[in-house]
Chain A
Amino acid sequence: MMDAGRHPRIKLLTLSEVEEVTGYVGNFHVKVRKKARFVDEGACTSCGECATVCPVTVPDEYQIGLGTRKAIYKPFPQAVPSAYVINLADCLGMNPIACGKCAERCQKKCIDFDMRDEIIEFDVGAIIVATGMEPYDPTAMDEYGYTRFENVITSMEFERLICASGPTEGHLVRPSDHKIPKRIGFIQCVGSRMDSRGNPYCSNICCMNTVKDSLLLKEHYPDIEIYVFYIDLRAFGKGFEDLLKRSRQAGVKYIRGLPGSVVEDPETRNLIVSVENTTAGRVEQYELDMLILSVGLKPREDADRLRQILNLSKTSDGFLLEAHPKLRPVDAPTPGVFLAGCVEAPKDIKDSVTQASAAVARASTVLNSERLVVEAITAVVDKDKCTACGVCARVCPFGAIKFDKDKKAPPEVIEAMCAGCGTCAAECRFDAITSAALHR
């Protein structure tokens, strides 16, 4: 990220949102709203003096609410650009008379309360969508007691607890009494592989994330007891099976079966987990100090808005659809748009990097070619038969037919945008549209 920020030919627009994309492959016109940061990101040196005087304290999103931040803050230590930002919703009214302590304190005078959103417009030849995903929120699956018991946490929260820059500086403690837990359980497939609630698909990363976490715990606390409750362990990648084997050798107990009930001992705040061990064929009970829900991944809440802006489609699970699942896995059905990372499907870092590299290569073939070849299935308008009614332009899912009602002239087909579905031809009541291959 730092490298991308420093690169002379990469323009990074952070805190920005794409509002509108028009045009087609090679000729996209993009409108971006650059939101007001209220801090001059070029001048800010990240000294952090402003945050020390800020009187507002709110839960820190980066620490999943386990820590706090101020209304003026840096989202996380390695944030790019390395500059502070004011969250408008938290700041004490944007009224310098009401507070304005940060602006007084800043020696470089880079805090500007008058900053407003800017609209930036520019042309691009290709677009890569890499907007990622969201972790599943296990509130709905309350049989594991996530909302009721303090010592039941998600894998995201656990990740903050064992992180050196986390709220506990990497010391693992359980939330109820801040003691180091002796027995830890992981429940796999929370919100994944379930038809009734959550999501039906496998979230891909959670098995290996748990294996990694179990090894990390064993390294730091060799006496800790770890139980992993799973449906199947999917250690399919390069070196993954090896890691799983090491975790087993380190003494981590893998139990095939998802817990049926979790109850809390009101005195010790320990969790009593009942599970059908399907390998042993019996119901077992475990008393655990802490339970970690290995949550799956889901599409972002705002994915549909982006889909409308870019005219993309999604698969039934909500992730973006590729042009072909095997032969064009990084191309979107819309020409000139490419996909990378979890926006396409849940995947780990390595797969995301692979896909991103592929998407860049695909995009550069578009950018470096002088001409683009289109399949001979694009729509052609027979100008003699056309009555300029405009139905074709209305039904085209790709917006490839340009029609001006006032001109009363036959519509124009932009071949680069037409995908050849034939909807226009079927809807035309005058047989005035056919596909190019059949024309003449």
Chain B
Amino acid sequence: MAAVEAAVGENGRERIVVFACNWCSYAGADGAGVARLQQPPNARIIRTMCSGRVAEKFILRAFELGAAMVLVSGCHLADCHYISANSWTQKRVDRLWDRLEKLGIRPERLQLEWISAAEGQKFARVMQEIEEMRKTVTAEEIEHTRRVLAEEREKEAVRKKPRVKA
């Protein structure tokens, strides 16, 4: 969570937050760097052991802090280092897309991509595409997102008050 906060940092309006898994996508990003492929400078990559670790609240927190785009990226579906953990990522992101839509947030701002360790080129291409999409995200849109998600979180906090054990 602290990593998300640091990644969005100041000037969040232009930020792209990338969650990349340690085994495939992070290595893919590394590959893109080694191959000196052009990438947007406003992206911040957060490494997780698996894309399965990326909880809904991480993504929502990034949006709440004002990130323009969030990319969740992991190994291809049959190639997960943790057997099938990324299938849960897929389900979770599917769920989140629905939720974002209901909250009036464009679901396209959350992207899910499977990028293997060998696909540095693909990583760079995806990042370029996301940067293009990022340019369409307006300041008002981000303000709206921040407000909606902050409200959501407060509601959640009320709901999740520690249960009083009898």
Contact = CB atoms under 8 A, between A and B. Distances in A.
Contacts of B78: 313-314, 316
B79 A423 contact: no
A311 interface: yes
A420 B52 CA distance: 10
Interface in B43-61: 48-50, 52-56, 58
A426 B80 CA distance: 16
B53 A422 contact: yes
A202 B53 CA distance: 35
B88 A427 contact: yes
Interface string A35-52: 000000000000000000
A426 B55 contact: yes
A421 B85 contact: yes
B81 interface: yes
A333 B88 contact: no
Contacts of B89: 423
A111 interface: no
Nearest to B48: A422
A377 B81 contact: no
Report, as a range, how many residues of chain A touch the other chain: 20 to 34
Contacts of B80: 313, 397
Interface residues of B, number: 23
Contacts of A422: 48-50, 52-53, 85
Given A423-B52, A426-B92, A333 B79 contact: no
A423 B81 CA distance: 12
A425 B1 CA distance: 13
B55 A333 contact: no
A311 B81 CA distance: 12
> Binding site of A, secondary structure by majority: helix, strand, loop or mixed?
loop
Contacts, number: 68
A397 B55 contact: no
A427 to B, nearest CB: 6
A313 B83 contact: yes
A380 to B, nearest CB: 14
B84 interface: yes
Interface in A295-334: 311-316, 321, 333
A426 B49 contact: no
A423 B53 contact: yes
Nearest to B160: A430
A398 B92 contact: no
Contacts of A397: 52, 80, 82-85
A164 interface: no
A419 interface: yes
A427 B84 contact: no
Interface in A412-440: 419-423, 425-427, 430
B76 interface: yes
A333 B53 CA distance: 17
A435 to B, nearest CB: 8
> Which residue among B58, B78, B83, B84 has the maximum number of chain A CB atoms within 10 Å of its CB?
B83
Contacts of B55: 425-427
> Which residue among B48, B54, B84 has the maximum number of chain A CB atoms within 10 Å of its CB?
B84
A423 B48 contact: no
Contact of A398 (B54, B79, B83, B116): B83
A321 B78 CA distance: 10
Interface of A: 311-316, 321, 333, 377, 395, 397-398, 419-423, 425-427, 430
18 contacts: A312-B83, A313-B78, A313-B79, A314-B79, A316-B76, A316-B116, A377-B49, A397-B82, A397-B83, A397-B85, A398-B83, A421-B53, A421-B85, A423-B89, A426-B56, A427-B55, A427-B92, A430-B160
Interface of B: 48-50, 52-56, 58, 76, 78-85, 88-89, 92, 116, 160
Given A313-B80, A426-B56, 6 more contacts: A311-B83, A395-B52, A421-B53, A421-B82, A422-B52, A427-B92
